Amino acid sequence: MQIQLYCLPLKLYSQSASFRLPEEHTFQSTLPLPSVTAITGLIGAALGIKFEEAMEFKKENKLHFGIYGTHKSRVYDLWKHYKIKSKETISSVLIREVLFSVSIELLIASDNIDILQNVHDAFINPCYALSLGTSDDIAKLTHITEPLPIQISLISNIENTCLRGDISGKYTSSINLSDIPINQSIFPPRVYLLPTEYSFKDGSRKLSAKEPFTFISQPITLDTPIEGIEYNKRRFPLI
In a structure prediction context, what are the per-residue pLDDT tens digits for the chain, which is 239 residues long? Answer: 456 899 999 999 999 999 988 777 778 889 999 999 999 999 999 999 999 999 999 999 999 999 999 999 988 888 777 777 777 777 778 888 999 999 999 999 999 999 999 999 999 999 999 999 888 899 999 999 999 999 999 999 999 999 999 999 999 998 877 777 777 778 889 999 999 999 988 878 888 999 999 999 999 999 999 999 999 999 999 99
Range of the domain at 228: 5-237
Chain-centre distance for alpha carbon 55: 14
For residue 196, CA distances in Å to 96, 165, 193 come to 23, 12, 9
For the chain, the 3-state helix, strand and coil shares in percent, each to the nearest 5, are: 15, 55, 30
Per-residue confidence (pLDDT) for residue 61, from 0 to 100: 96
pTM score:
0.91
Angstrom distance (rounded) from CA 86 to CA 46: 39
Number of domains into which the chain is organized: 1
Strand (E) or helix (H) holding 169? none
The secondary structure of 14-79 as a DSSP string is: EEEE--B-TT--SEE-B-SS--HHHHHHHHHHHHT--HHHHHHHHHHTT-EEEEEEEEEEEEEEEE
DSSP SS3 for 192: strand
Could you tell me if 150 and 5 are in contact, meaning their C-beta atoms sit under 8 angstroms apart?
A: yes
Q: Which CATH number fits the domain that encloses residue 161? A: 3.30.70.2660
Per-residue confidence (pLDDT) for residue 3, from 0 to 100: 67
